[in-house]
Amino acid sequence: MTKAYKEIMERVRLTEEMEQRVLMGALAAMESSASSRACGFRRWGALAACLVVMAAGALLLPGLWSQPVEPGPVTVTPQMVSAATQQELEELVGFPVETLTGLPFTPTQVEYTAYGEMAQVRYVGEEQTAVYRKAVSEEDISGDYTLYDHIWQVERDGVTLTLKGNEEGCALVLWKQGDFSCSLRFTPPVEETLAVDGAMGKE
């Protein structure tokens, strides 16, 4: 500083009110500067956090996309085809289908249906029905999953028949015929003798 400037500044005297104003102004300037720096830090901190999240996602997502998707269960429904005659049903399933002649009622209507390689013949009477099924199988092909109260077996002409029913009588007959599984379901149930005659009486 020059000598003249020093002499001028030495003659300057601030009142107490002026000193307070100068101090308040300096404090306000300092707070403003600190606030600006804090905002800047907050902005940069938020940006850095976003970058970290994006980087983590970039690392994880390819792994998730590359994970194999397990296939769900495949349900196969046999094709149902109606036949006009017994001969047509036999052509559809590829094996002979017997006519049941020992049923305990006189059918007024007979329906022939092929479920894939399983033959079904539904005999309809005035008050009763009987459903006969036949297929190359070792399993129960009746489709009847009722929990019957009574299950017993009967021998007839060297064939073992499994009968299922309740107090009303026999509702289901199951038996084997060579490589074939057969079933006969009665609605309503019938007496044991009538059920066995209906299953074994055929041509």
81 or 50, higher pLDDT: 81
Compute, in degrees rounded to 10, the torsion defined by CA atoms 101, 102, 105, 107.
-20
Parallel/antiparallel/unpaired status of strands 118-124 and 129-136: antiparallel
pLDDT value, residue 17: 59
pLDDT value, residue 26: 46
Three-state secondary structure string covering 95-151: CCCCCECCCCCCCCEEEEEEECCEEEEEEECCCCEEEEEEEECCCCCCCCCCCCCEE
> Helix (H, G, I), strand (E, B), or coil: what is residue 5?
helix
Q: pLDDT tens, 114-140?
A: 999 999 999 999 999 999 999 999 999
Mean pLDDT of the chain: 79
* Model pTM score: 0.64
pLDDT value, residue 2: 52
Residue 143 has pLDDT above 70, yes or no: yes
Dig out the tokens for 166 from the structure: 């309740």
User: How would residue 158 be classed by pLDDT, with cut points 50, 70 and 90?
Assistant: very high
41 or 153, higher pLDDT: 153
Q: pLDDT tens, 58-73?
A: 544 455 444 554 555 5
Parallel/antiparallel/unpaired status of strands 180-190 and 169-177: antiparallel
Q: Which residue has the tokens 């009588």?
A: 169
pLDDT value, residue 155: 96
> Quick one: which H or E segment has residue 190?
strand 180-190
Q: What is the mean pLDDT of residues 162-185?
A: 97
Q: What is the mean pLDDT of residues 157-174?
A: 97
